[in-house]
Amino acid sequence: MHQTAINLTFIDYSILGLYIAFVIGIGFALKRYMKTSADFFLSGRSIPAWVTGLAFLSANLGALELVGMAASGAKYGIATCHFYWVGAIPAMIFLAVFMMPFYYGSKARSVPEYLKLRFDERARAFNSISFAIMTVFASGISLNALAKLLNQLLGWEYNICLWVCSLIVLLYVLKGGLTSAIYTEVLQFFMIVLGFAPVVWLGLKDAGGWTSVKDKLAGVATDPVALNLVSDASKTFKPDAWTSAWTPLIAGPSQNPMGVDLFAMIFGLGFVLSFGYWCTNFLVVQRAMAAKDMTAARNTPLVAAVPKMLFPLLVILPGMIALALSATAGKEYRLPQAIITQARMTTTIASIKQSVSGGTDLAAAQENLSAKAGVSFNPAKVATLLKSPETLTVSDEKLAIRLQDAVVNDYDGVILSLVKRYCPTGLLGLALTALLASFMSGMAGNVTAFNTVWTYDLYQAYIAPDKSDDHYAWMGRMVTIVGILLSIGAAYFASMWSNAMDIIQLVFGFVNAPLFATFLLGMFWSRTTATGAFIGLVSGTTASALFHACTISQGNVPGVKGGYLAKLAVLPSDMAQNFWLASFAFTVCFVLTVVISLATKRTKSDEDLKGLVYSLTPKQIVTQAWYARPEFIGIVLLIVCIYFNYLFW
Amino acid sequence: MGLDIRFPIGIMFTLIGLLLTVTGFVTGGDPAFYKISLGININLVWGIVLLLFGGLMWGFAILEKNKK
């Protein structure tokens, strides 16, 4: 992705243009249905389940997800599927079967509003403010990433990419509100699938099919340092480390490339993080809330679960294909890397020769080299170069090749490197349109969730209550514009201070980690009090910040990556640290909420909590046949999901 | 909501499918053009897939409309 820009032709631009015309057209076609604020924010609760279901999926499938999952596929192999088969699917089924009746049945217009109905204003304020800020930054980060990508790949101007992409999203959300976002998300869903599928197909064919990919990855696992996959030269894995989902995980953190243990995976990711995201994040839940009736609302996550289960084929497999290709002689493929420029290479070569003769301090020599070359190096490979006397005698050309080979992989470039490798004019336009579509679906999702939470949970609740419905509908449009402008601001912020951005994302990780405990207790235990929930939530958030401050993962220095207060525990990887943090925060929030609830008085009567808490809500009279009930469909999906896990055990 | 999303999806993919199919036909005689896609005329193949998908969406939408 850092090489020369590729040129698009008339055909490619035509495909891109057609797509843009259609998404904007849908916005304009829906304009005449936008009469009340409920139409704009809730789609008037009139959309069938298959549409909300695909939108549910698409809103989450931003460009970063697409790029990031392929990156993880190369980095960690098939274990990345745990984000789907252990994480998302069970959580989506839980949402459909157990939680949706309360979200939809309570007539709450947003997730924070549910918290207000169930508890009180404190929980709502905490959740809505953090959510509003988070969505703005999330869309800013992905906007920045997209503009950078288009700039590197196509040579388009960064600022133009930023503004034009935002403007398109603004146009169709402004015209058609949530309906427009949901409808275009469905179109974008098909665009993403049909745009990337041929690339994956060609890649798999080129790599010689799945069996051949597996064989190659077995070789990669036994010598991971050859492809800069690990930074420790002596590190090796069993042959199935990249191609088995469970065996390496059960064997322990040192046996799988993720560096994660079984408990952190199942409890931390599978339970806490995934249920916390899929069951409480308004970005996705909003899609289900827009469904036309209770059945459609409950079916929304179930409809989404079917393609979600198969998505690893589209988003993770390309990463594994890329890794297999780079391990195949004669394919002339390498995982993308930053390129050391000619001018910098000269000084880098001079510097490394000096270090070999003089310095013994490896770490200092490495840091010096990275500064000279302007890229990060794989420590194991640079150490080998620094120790070898041959470095002094070999020709500059050969040394340049070896230095370039030691540059760390840019995993995020994997998916586009495959697009570039296989797509002729025509298909290229389609694949790039799919990339744009994935970005727009994510951004529109963020913007519609942001404008609803702002208007209903912050503006109407605290700033200007008791205004006319027209006023709120007007506010929704205004804040859509403001939300987009804030996202653009956040994108520029991200491009300038990427470290600050890491910290912001970290803080939101802290806020999200305990959230599911609050919802779980709130929905299924009528004794939970508002004070208990609020203190539990705030303590859970504080606990995750403290956990981060007191633990560190192997190979990191104290700072943004944690451990700046103490080093109470050293975890095997960043991911393990993240999963354990979530488990810890959840437990703190859960226990404190229970204890404080028992010590405080309930402020809401059983009557108040009807429709909000499981045990106090009268059972719905079931009218569907047994095979059409969400419970039955959920169980079938769960069995299929377990089968997938078994298949790639 | 008054708009059946299958219509725009159907029309859009039919048009894109047509574009790719035509590109596939025009460039089909030039093996160098398809060297990167492993010698497969991927524009023609995928153009037909998109045409079929677009037509299917369109068909479903029309069926639904006639039912009403």
Q: Where are the alpha helices (DSSP H) in A406-468?
A: 414-422, 427-452
CA–CA dist A428, A317 (Å, integer): 19
Which residue ranges make up each domain of chain B?
6-67
CA–CA dist A296, A100 (Å, integer): 10
Tokens 């990711």 sit on residue = A269
A535/A566 same-domain check: yes
Measuring CA to CA, which residue among A61, A187, A285, A504 is closest to residue A69? A61
Nearest CA of chain A to the CA of B59: how many Å?
16
Does the residue A3 lie in any domain?
Answer: no
Hey, what amino acid is at A391?
T
CB A476 within 8 A of CB A178: no
A102/A225 same-domain check: yes
Which range (A159-168, B17-26, B30-39) has the least confidence?
Answer: B30-39
**Residue A358 pLDDT:** 58
CA–CA dist A184, A206 (Å, integer): 33
Hey, what amino acid is at A370?
S
**Residue A107 pLDDT:** 84
DSSP states along A594-610: HHHHHHS---S-TTTTT
CATH of the domain at A85: 1.20.1730.10
Q: What is the DSSP letter of A569?
A: E
For residues A211-236, average pLDDT: 87
A505/A492 same-domain check: no
Which range (A4-8, A67-71, A100-104, A448-452) has the least confidence?
Answer: A4-8
Chain B contacts of A14, Cβ < 8 Å? Answer: 19
Band of residue A198 on the pLDDT scale cut at 50, 70, 90: very high
For residues A294-313, average pLDDT: 93
The residue range of the domain holding A474 is 10-30+39-327+414-496
Interval A347-378: pLDDT, tens: 888 888 877 765 567 777 778 888 888 888 88
**Residue A3 pLDDT:** 47
Verify whether the Cβ–Cβ distance A190 to B13 is below 8 Å: yes
A526/A481 same-domain check: no
> Among residues A380, A408, A436, which one ends one of the domains?
A408
Q: What angle do CA A464, A468, A472 make, to 5 degrees?
A: 65
Does the residue A644 lie in any domain?
Answer: no
From the list B16, B36, B38, the residue facing A430 with the nearest CB is B16
A291/A184 same-domain check: yes
Interval A588-632: pLDDT, tens: 999 999 999 999 988 888 888 888 888 888 777 777 888 888 889
Give the mutation candidate from B4, B23, B60 for the A interface (greatest A CB count, under 10 A): B23
Measuring CA to CA, which residue among A585, A446, A573 is closest to residue A507? A585
Measuring CA to CA, which residue among A357, A358, A355 is closest to residue A370? A355
A382/A308 same-domain check: no
Give me the residues paired with residue A96 across strands: none
Interface of A with B (CB under 8 A): 11, 14-15, 18-19, 22, 25-26, 29-30, 33, 43-44, 46-47, 51, 179, 183, 186-187, 190, 194, 198, 202, 205-206, 421-427, 430
Chain A contacts of B49, Cβ < 8 Å? Answer: 194
From the list A33, A43, A202, the residue facing B37 with the nearest CB is A202
Verify whether the Cβ–Cβ distance A202 to B13 is below 8 Å: no
What's the Cα-to-Cα distance from A85 to each of A79, A157, A326, A631, rounded to whole Å? 10, 39, 27, 19
A448/A513 same-domain check: no
Interval A443-461: pLDDT, tens: 999 999 999 999 999 999 8
Which are the contacts of A594, defined by CB distance < 8 A and separation ≥ 6? Answer: A521, A525, A528, A532
Complex ipTM over 0.90: yes
Interval A478-510: pLDDT, tens: 999 999 999 999 999 988 887 777 777 788 788
A110/A202 same-domain check: yes
**Residue B2 pLDDT:** 67
CB A449 within 8 A of CB A443: no
Band of residue A1 on the pLDDT scale cut at 50, 70, 90: very low
Q: Retrieve residue A171's tokens.
A: 């146009």
pLDDT at position A53 over 70: yes
pLDDT at position A2 over 70: no
User: What integer best gives the mean pLDDT of chain A?
Assistant: 88
